[in-house]
Amino acid sequence: MNVNCVIVDDLKVAVDYIRRCCEKSSMVDVKADFPDVPTALEYLNQNPVDLLFLDVEMPGATGFELLDQLAYKPQVILITSKPEYAYNAFEYNVTDFLKKPFTYQRFLEALQKVSIQQEEKVNSESSDHIFIKSDGKLIRLNYNDILYMESMGDYVKFVTTEKKYITHNTIKALEEKVNKTYFMKVHRSYIINITKIDDIRENDLFIRGIEIPISKAHKPDVLKRLNII
């Protein structure tokens, strides 16, 4: 694995230590480090990276606020020990947590998780199906059968041509995992199969007669993606 990363942490000794661990591993190239969210955001939105080592509590904005404002979704290793952030981490699809100071061995374990997620991402982009856990079973859904996915709080409803399935997941996490050739997020609560769109109105689209909203934030991407003139 070879990834590039940015470190965002206001503790210099921690930044130095993470840099040292990255160099030692020969798997991670540190592009830059920043002590706060605004300077990090400015760089990251111009220079996408694969991985962020991200502190949570920093002067001004928090690490989660950085993730909210970032235009893309890199993998994230959160540098925190607080269990209350675990819920947010699920929401933001964080790969691992590291509590300062951590040993080099622990750092390698986190990198191993990064590597696995990188592989899963590559696989999902080339596959034609997904496995979901629903009703205690592992179910294979072919992309061609999925009409759309709808958020239901801590769950997601997969609507297929035959059935509906409820799985413990979030739209945010799924957005990273599904094949982008087929799927697109059109609203904070919906990912749709673009090959199943029947028609599009001003702020909605229709799949098998079901009306799905297109949010203002996602509309430009939808128009661009569907090549609407």
Number of residues that bind another protein (CB under 8 A): 14
Residue 23 or 120: which CB sits closer to another protein? 23
- According to the binding rule CB under 8 A, does residue 17 interact with another protein? yes
Residue among 140, 158, 155, 170 at smallest CA distance from 196 = 158
Q: What is the dihedral of CA 177, 180, 184, 190, to 10 degrees?
A: -20
- According to the binding rule CB under 8 A, does residue 163 interact with another protein? no
Contact positions with another protein (CB under 8 A) in 80-109: 81, 100-101, 103-104
Residue 13 or 226: which CB sits closer to another protein? 13
- Figure out which of the listed residues 5, 14, 111, 132 binds another protein, where binding follows CB under 8 A: 14
- Figure out which of the listed residues 3, 11, 139, 200 binds another protein, where binding follows CB under 8 A: 11
- According to the binding rule CB under 8 A, does residue 116 interact with another protein? no
- According to the binding rule CB under 8 A, does residue 57 interact with another protein? yes
- Figure out which of the listed residues 2, 16, 161, 225 binds another protein, where binding follows CB under 8 A: 16
Rounded least distance, CB 163 to another protein, Å = 46
- Judged by the rule CB under 8 A, the positions of this chain that interact with another protein are 10-14, 16-17, 20, 57, 81, 100-101, 103-104
